[in-house]
Structure 1
Amino acid sequence: MKPVAIKALKKRMLNTAESREAYEDADRELRVLEALHAMREKAKLSKVELAERLDIAPSAITRLEKNPLGASLKTLERYARACGASWHFDIVYK
């Protein structure tokens, strides 16, 4: 089997609007997940400590970090404030 370059493979796999949308959704989720982890890490908080600050169960932090796109903006803002941070959202037109 002949090796395939990543760029060529990506082009082949993202050949439909549906596949591109799924890729963009996954990329967006990864960026939010990375932001959540970065905030918690910078604040030097464990999941238990963060949960105590938010007055929620530690399992809720785990669920949020596993599915960040399912969270409300209010929840994301509370998470950020508890870490001593804030969210800023940009709107980009295509």
Structure 2
Amino acid sequence: MIVRIMGEGQVKLADSHFTELNKLDDELLAEMESGDESGFRRTLGALLDKVRELGDVLPDDALEPSELILPAPDATLDEVREMLSDDGLIPG
């Protein structure tokens, strides 16, 4: 799956990693719902770091369609809320 981190670029990520990423996504969703700004910041950073760690960065000139778009590391709670689906940022 091709994942775009807004403001950074694209990463190719194996589907097998989504169970691990969904745990962080669930934690992020809970922190957003409770208004835990510091927890939200920490978990968003951990989620993006994990995507970077597990994925392969695509070259800047690659024009692959992104199947999943994640917020920039400095995104606000409100900006991320606008990106959410019922499943959080990561479906499944």
Instruction: Give the alignment's TM-score, normalised by structure 1.
Output: 0.34
Q: Which has the larger radius of gyration?
A: 1
**Greater share of strand:** 2
Structure of greater relative contact order (alpha carbons < 8 Å, 6+ residues apart) = 2
Instruction: Give the alignment's TM-score, normalised by structure 2.
Output: 0.34
**Greater share of helix:** 1
